[in-house]
Structure 1
């Protein structure tokens, strides 16, 4: 049995436990090889009226597959960040009785008030997957709809631990395609949170000289305690051959260009195009060449090699793959159930989460599907 067959069986079991509900579901997601099984399971719970795919993560085969089953749109990043674009986009697909939104990245956060003004209680609530998205909803003064986030769930830690290694894999593949190696490079990790920590450890295992910088003194001390050097920010930027942005914020600005090494590679490990000043580089660059997913900008007499043009580097290789990803995806399904059953009572000014007991159910079902009880390893 393949990993995809296991995923389908796992999600189907979760969907059966939740049951079928009226209303419609709008899904904003990445378009990667693991999505068809998840979408089919979500559709068992509630009719999917629209799938919106993030443009930097479109697998052509997957896009063709889901387009044959669902109404799918692929907006540009500019459209996704344009005021009221999503409100206008979903208008024909909102079920006036009950509509639920499941998204990744907090794209709907900026339009919540516009959504509420137009659709009112027709939209019941929102499920959010990522830390970036969680922060966007958290930063709002008030939330007109209840939001259930899985971004800070203990089950999310399993996925986050794999983001760093998947980013390192993609960078190593790109360097090899250009006739060079990752080993021995001085690599700076900006941000020592869940993703940054995994990235630093994966780089160390590859024989890199790893530097870490975090704006938090607490995170910096932890990085040092775990064996990494933590120089001042400018010193770190000046000596790094490769920079990984793992902060979840803007980690390098256009003013930092003068401190970077000529020929440096910049790679994002965030879930959005956020870590580097992509638009500013395009405006100020003396020249710009794209070669094999690397955008080389000539700025102030030096070359900056921006991998995937600032999009998450691991999406070049279908991001995090494997059974672990199904854990948090199943939790999102239960988060949807929470909104369906209790949306009116959750309260809109708090970001909610599923109960610990529900996570235990997810982990138990996952173990039955993906863990070999004899060896203790993943089922192959």
Structure 2
């Protein structure tokens, strides 16, 4: 990032921080994709809270950004296991923030499994969670009873530009991986699993590139939307897998089970928009498949009479090329900062919440004044 770009970004976040200054000064823990532009957002979180630790998602760490962050705050190792055991989670928070009011800034529902235990047993006060993703939103929504407020930005209209552009970056990276092996998109019918904001963006760009696209979604409403936009809709999931030369998984949940992989067409490519642990049940893939690296970020799975290719180990393919969506990411990051203020007011009941329309409009107006140039 050029110096003038960094100065503009810091000025933007300073403005957001002044607009949404919290009523109390909370402690925070931040889970995030540590991409090249992320230090500006991290500095903004640290300007609005006592940021005790950054927990970067392990498959998306820019080493230059990490070195910069480590000069400011600790970067701890993130794993699902860290917060799936109540004792481990409590030990972590007690070591970092005993007796303090804490806000958890999450990407993907990492804190959900032990949220109730941490809320009831932590020596401080768990004020709540801000969640960034649809997958994480679902993890919190699936809990029997939320013990504290969870502010979700996953379905915010300010996230729509990011979701659209992420879909475009997924197609770019998938094509780049294929071309690295001498393959191309054209001539390969594509199956897009999931027709939400990301999946629909992927389908539209593939169609614009002249690729034949079929959509599969468990939601009948989304299937009608896909049909209305000119896409074929799979009637038979197994048949759709057998016909596709490219399968793009965009559900934010489990797209392919172990028994699905043998139905893939020989030589098909599989790519995803999120981590392999969320989209693919690779652990249940039959043991008869051997795994061989056959190119940069391409693994061939092969058994007698059958083979397919997996991009980036099943993790988000667009992270191979930085996953950049430009300054549009700063819209939803600002709403996350607004979520910090919402939780410090302590007037939210336990349950899922969203920012209000006035706050979103204020964020958009501020963003336009800095980036619409």
- TM-score over 0.5 for the pair: yes
Q: CA separation of 1:2/1:245 partners in 2, compared to 1, >3 Å: closer, same or farther? A: farther
Match of 1:336 among 337, 340, 345: 340
**Are 2:366 and 1:354 equivalent residues in the alignment?**
no
- Structure-2 change in CA distance of 1:235 and 1:4 (3 Å): farther
12, 18, 21: which one pairs with 1:19? 21
Give, in whole Å, the separation in 2 of the partners of 1:30 and 1:335. Answer: 18
Q: Decide which moves more: 13-22 or 301-310.
A: 13-22
Cα deviation digits, residues 89-110 of structure 1 (max 9, x gap): 3331124131111111111001
When the two chains are superposed, the root-mean-square deviation of aligned CA atoms in Å is: 1.9
2:300 paired with 1:296: yes
Structure 1 253/367 Cα, relative in aligned 2: closer, same or farther at 3 Å?
Answer: same
| CA 114–131 in structure 1, closer or farther in 2 if over 3 Å, else same | same
**Paired residue for 1:193?**
196
Aligned to 2:215: 212
Question: Closer, same or farther in 2 for the Cα pair 1:22/1:171, shift >3 Å?
Answer: same
Deviation per residue, 1:277-300 (Å, 9 max, x gap): 12223x624311124212222246
Change over 3 Å in CA distance of 1:285–1:113 after alignment to 2? farther
Query: Match of 2:257?
Result: 253
Match of 1:136 in 2: 139
Q: Which runs of 5+ in 2 are unaligned?
A: none
| Greater shift in the superposed pair: 323-332 or 91-100 | 91-100
Q: How do 1:1-380 and structure 2 match up within 5 A?
A: 2-19=4-21, 21-76=24-79, 79-80=81-82, 82-84=84-86, 85-119=88-122, 122-232=125-235, 233-270=237-274, 273-281=277-285, 284-290=287-293, 291-299=295-303, 301-341=305-345, 343=346, 345-348=347-350, 350-372=351-373
Unaligned runs of 5+ in 1: 373-380
**Aligned partner of residue 327 in structure 2, secondary structure:** coil
| Change in 2 beyond 3 A, CA 1:361/1:91 | same
Q: How many residues align?
A: 367
Q: Secondary structure at the match of 2:91?
A: helix
Change over 3 Å in CA distance of 1:351–1:214 after alignment to 2: same
Counterparts of 1:205 and 1:317 in 2: how far apart (Å)? Answer: 21
* Contact 1:274 1:310 (8 Å CA) reproduced: no
TM (normalized to structure 1)? 0.91
Report if the CA contact (8 A) 2:137-2:154 is conserved. Answer: yes
The alignment partner of 2:85 has SS state of coil
The alpha-carbon distance between structure 1 residues 99 and 119, as it changes in their structure 2 partners (threshold 3 A), is same
Flag as ranges the 4+ runs of structure 1 deviating above 4 A: none
Residue 272 of structure 1 deviates from its aligned partner by 6.4
Q: Is the 8 A contact 2:26 2:344 kept in 1?
A: no
